Structures are given as structure tokens and as C-alpha cells.
């Protein structure tokens, strides 16, 4: 399955997907890394791996979010993309792009959803005193961080953890989870579960 990865910054999850997809038995290949931010650090890594990159700056479209998404959608279709992975793509999507890619667009979120949607998940997990935290790969729907869950990985919250130490532990889990979850979806083994139905926990 040809896959596009959408990034806005560091791109470490994108790199994990690129590395996994380089294995001969992996059921997806990364055909495009697309950024909405010029000079996103992840772009240089993708180029170094020989992956085609494209930047479509949202700033060029002013307040017209859908016009930006129409440009993104056209680029995805031009490359024959079959699945889209959001990986640190820091844009709220409009219904246009969500509907265009329904069932074919995944996101990774750094918490065990439905706990801690939105930003600052690690600080909020520490403040809440949870003992388990983690990450979630889910289908993208119109409500932010709410689509059907494909897979999750849990990590412990340890005594003395800081936001940074917890973020690093979760990020390492993200780098294992996202390639595993994408493989499930690409093989058609995850399907599109009904809302609230989780097909698999910790497939690692
Ligand atoms: C990750 O923590 C991801 O879960 C969240 O944004 C961060 C992106 O990091 N959506 P990177 O760009 O993949 O390094």
C-alpha cells in the first residue's frame, strides 16, 4: 500500500515508519512525506532516506483551511496514496479532508485515549497521577483524537518522572506502535472498527 506521512516538525514517528517500510516483508511503502511547515526538521531526514517530500505551507492559504486541504488532497491523489499517516501533523482537519480519507487516515496520539486528548498530554498525565500512560493509533474522524482505536501501547509512570522523562518513554513506544498499527491496517487486519471498539491492545 502506498502511504503518505504528514508531518509538521521533528518527524521521529515518520522516521520509524520509513525504517519499518524499508523491510522487504512490510505491507506498506512510504511514497511521500508532506509537511505544512517549510523547513520542518523531518523533511531533511526523509530526503536523506530517498523519500520524495513536499511542503504545502498552510500560511500560503491564509484562513482558508479547506483550500489548503484541497491542495494536500490533490498531492496525495497525484502520488497514488492509499493510506495517510498523520505523525505530528499539527493542523486541525476540516470535514473535507477527513471525509475524503475516511477509513484511510491514521493518527498517533501520545496518550491512552480517551484519556488526555489534545496537547500537553504528559504534563496532564503526571498531574492526574495515573500509573499507566502510553500512546494510541486511531482512525481520524471529525472530532479531534476521537476516531476508532487501532492499537495502543502502555508504559508505566515511574516515581520521579518528569514531563521529559515520561515523554521519552512514550515516544519510544510510539516508534514501535505506529509501524505495527500501520502494518495491521495495510494488511486489512484492523478493518475500521465501530466507534468505541478496540481491535487490539499492545500488538508488540
Ligand atoms: C508525537 O508525540 C505524536 O504522538 C504527536 O506529536 C509528536 C510528534 O513527534 N502527535 P514526531 O514529529 O513524530 O517526532
pLDDT, tens digit, for every residue of 143-165?
988 999 999 999 999 999 999 99
| CB 26, CB 17: distance < 8 Å | no
**Would you say 91 is a known binding-site residue?**
yes
Active site residue 138: no
ipTM of the predicted structure? 0.98
Phi, psi dihedrals of residue 3, rounded to the nearest 5°: -120, 140
What count of residues does the chain have?
Answer: 204
**Ligand 1 binding pocket, CB closer than 6 Å:** 7, 9-14, 42, 87-88, 108-110, 171, 174
Residue 175: half-sphere exposure toward Cβ, Cα within 13 Å:
12
- Distance from residue 16's CA to the centre of ligand 1 (Å): 11
Query: Per-residue pLDDT tens for 32-88?
Result: 999 999 999 999 999 999 999 999 999 999 999 999 999 999 999 999 999 999 999
Amino acid at each position: 500500500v502506498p502511504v503518505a506521512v504528514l508531518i509538521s516538525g521533528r518527524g521521529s514517528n515518520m522516521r520509524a515508519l520509513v525504517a519499518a517500510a524499508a523491510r522487504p516483508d512490510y505491507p506498506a511503502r512510504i511514497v511521500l512525506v508532506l509537511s505544512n511547515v517549510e523547513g520542518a526538521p523531518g523533511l531533511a531526514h526523509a530526503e536523506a532516506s530517498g523519500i520524495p517530500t513536499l511542503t504545502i505551507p498552510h500560511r500560503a492559504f491564509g484562513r482558508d483551511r479547506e483550500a489548503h486541504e484541497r491542495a494536500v488532497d490533490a498531492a496525495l491523489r497525484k502520488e497514488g496514496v492509499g493510506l495517510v499517516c498523520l505523525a505530528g501533523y499539527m493542523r486541525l482537519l476540516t470535514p473535507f479532508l477527513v471525509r475524503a480519507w475516511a477509513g484511510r487516515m491514521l493518527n498517533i496520539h501520545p496518550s491512552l485515549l480517551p484519556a488526555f486528548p489534545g496537547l500537553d498530554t504528559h504534563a496532564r498525565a503526571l498531574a492526574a497521577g495515573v500509573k499507566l500512560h502510553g500512546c494510541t493509533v486511531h482512525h481520524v474522524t471529525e472530532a479531534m483524537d476521537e476516531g476508532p482505536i487501532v492499537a495502543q501501547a502502555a508504559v508505566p509512570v515511574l516515581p520521579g518522572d518528569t514531563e521529559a522523562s515520561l515523554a521519552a518513554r512514550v515516544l519510544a513506544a510510539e516508534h514501535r506502535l505506529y509501524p505495527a498499527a500501520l502494518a495491521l491496517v495495510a494488511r486489512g487486519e484492523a478493518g475500521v472498527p465501530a466507534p468505541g471498539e478496540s481491535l487490539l491492545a499492545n500488538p508488540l
